[in-house]
Amino acid sequence: MRRKKKRYRKNGRPRGIGVAFREFQKDKIALVSLFLLVLFILFVFIASFFIDQEQLMRINLYDRYSRPGEKYLLGADQGGKDILGQLIIGARNSVSIALAITLITGFIGIVVGLICGYFGGWVDYIIMRIIDFFVTIPSLLFIIVFVTLVPKYSITSFILIMSLFLWTGTARLVRSKALSESKRDYVSASKTLGTSDFVILRREVAPNLSSLLIVELTLNFAGNVGIETGLSYLGFGLPPTTPSLGTLVSYANNPAVLQQYWWVWLPASLLILFMMLAINYIGQALRRSVDVKQRLG
Amino acid sequence: MSFMQIIDLKVHYPIRGGFFNSIVDWVYAVDGIDMEFEQGKTYGLVGESGCGKSTTGKAIIGLEKITSGKILFEGEDVTKERKSRTSHFHREVQMIFQDSHSSLNPRKRIADILAEPIRNFLNLTPREERKKIDELLAIVGMPGDSKEKFPHEFSGGQKQRINIARALATNPKLIIADEPVSALDLSVQAQVLNFMKDVQKEFGLTYLFISHDLGVVKHMCDYIFIMYKGRFVECGTKQDIYQNPKHLYTKRLLNSIPATTPLGREKRKWARQEFEKMYEKHIHKAFDENGRVYDLIPISDTHYVSASSVKEVV
């Protein structure tokens, strides 16, 4: 029997992970992106263990704007702080913040979306009006106000504030899919077979949304990497004692830095570009493997 | 002796509109029907698309809200009890859906699909559960290794047999079959129907067989309800309906059954056209001034016809 199954697998078309794997094989850019991104994230997380943040952020005026290779590998900024060290810690912060925001907003969005789509009626109506409210208010302004109001401002409070505004997109997407999925006969069948609503949601509806969710969360992750750096650039992101890619880029607001000291802002900009592009390419390859019509392989 | 009665079942849907989204009108999907079910019989529910057949089935099992009316099961009023998913009623009444494909969750293996009712209604050990699943697969004539497969690996007929196996898992008394074969091709239809008959004999099941296919209904059913616009037009045993139809709408339905022989095609076509003319002329008499179907009047012990008075029944 086992042999029979194996032969079937061999002849049959690939499914699940097999499809995603083939999609990556066909799309070389996505494959390279995946490889480099995994390598980069591993490097950043391991290297950040060996860097003392307080030591790194200490101002040292003798090394002000020292060129790459003079004392530090990538030079120093206006405070004489090592650019390479700031890049590593900044990238680690960006990635972990983006990951945390993606997971929190993903969880809230999935739960709310499933409940809305499955139960419908007045539950759906009330929650959707709340979501509409969150979508219509200018979230960036509110985030800035929150950031200035919160007394003890840290990475955790930043994550929570961002998550408060970013769960609505996922919730809407999951709702729309759950709405169509809940009308399928297998849900009705489960009801007549005595399964409770909670179990139907978790065991029947949610697994059928999984492929869509993986894609949505990957692309959200790419967006969330940009959010932290964007806000830090504006000066409302992480506190100034924490190194951030956005802070490095914001030094380019000074025309002198922009023209003469390119090593301060250019590596950080390139790093942001690389991360966003890589995650987007991976997300697109995943999306194609989920949608039969778009597949390359 | 009937074990289940349906009394004056009504399912009305509001039509909302206007500025305040108030109720403008009602759709009378099911508008006052009475049924009785006896052990081991098959009941056919026939009618054109949109006449309320499926809604009736879904309302009985609790997938649709009932506007008014009562459902009595073994002498008890279960109209409220239907809402609790693990009630005795739900164990005894099961449903087979029209679309065999979409009624099986594509992400679950057959073993898990069949285990769902077992886990909800029967407290079995994992070992007994596996044995029960093997039994069910054997009943519906599926090989044992189908347990590990996913629904998309089966043909339409096989999928419908899995649906039947799942409905049989709790040893129900009544199975509501909502057009169980209309999505299958003819040879597979016969296979599934004969199989359903075999299962019925073996377990003493009662079927409520919802269909628009008069040939299938004739093959399967002992007792037939003809439905039109949410109400019964005529009901009676198979002989009453097929040999002695009384209502004009029933006659027209039976007239529309195609003959299998090509001989005399022209003649039949002419006869059909004549009948259609007669139907157009007299149909207004069969319903009241609002187009509503009259209440049923008994014309024999088993045979009921809707008419304004006994005199009207020709």
ipTM of the complex: 0.83
Stretch A91-112: mean pLDDT, rounded?
92
Q: Where are chain A's structural domains?
A: 19-294
Residues of chain A with pLDDT > 90: what percent? Answer: 22
Report whether B41 contacts B223 (CB < 8 A): yes
CATH no., domain A19-294: 1.10.3720.10
Give the pLDDT confidence score for residue A67 in this predicted structure: 76
Closest A-chain CA to B113:
A190
Stretch A7-18: mean pLDDT, rounded?
53
Best residue in B81, B85, B94, B160 to probe A by mutation, most A CBs within 10 Å? B85
Give the pLDDT confidence score for residue A127 in this predicted structure: 93
Structure tokens, B304: 């009921």
Stretch A76-95: mean pLDDT, rounded?
84
The model carries a pTM of 0.80
Asked if the model's pLDDT at residue A291 lies above 80, the reply is: no
Report whether A161 contacts A146 (CB < 8 A): yes
Give the pLDDT confidence score for residue A297 in this predicted structure: 62
pLDDT in tens, B248-284: 888 888 888 888 888 888 888 898 888 888 888 888 8
In which band, very low, low, confident or very high, does the pLDDT at A292 lie, cut at 50, 70 and 90? low
Give the pLDDT confidence score for residue A5 in this predicted structure: 44
Asked if the model's pLDDT at residue A192 lies above 50, the reply is: yes
Residues of chain A with pLDDT > 70: what percent? Answer: 93
> How many Å from the N-terminal Cα to the C-terminal Cα in chain B?
31
Query: Poorest-confidence range of A9-23, A104-118, B205-219?
Result: A9-23
A residues 210..249 contacting B (CB < 8 A): 210
In which band, very low, low, confident or very high, does the pLDDT at A168 lie, cut at 50, 70 and 90? very high
Residue B283 near chain A (CB below 8 Å): no
Give the pLDDT confidence score for residue A242 in this predicted structure: 82
Distance from CA of B94 to the nearest CA of A (A): 7
Mean pLDDT for chain A? 83
Listed as ranges, residues in chain B with pLDDT below 50 are: none
Nearest to B69 by CA among B77, B207, B295: B77
Give the pLDDT confidence score for residue A16 in this predicted structure: 63
What domains are there in chain B, each with its CATH number? 2-312 (3.40.50.300)
Residue B105 near chain A (CB below 8 Å): yes
B122, burial (CB in 10 Å: exposed 0-12, middle 13-18, buried 19+): middle
Phi and psi at B96, nearest 5°, equal -115, 130
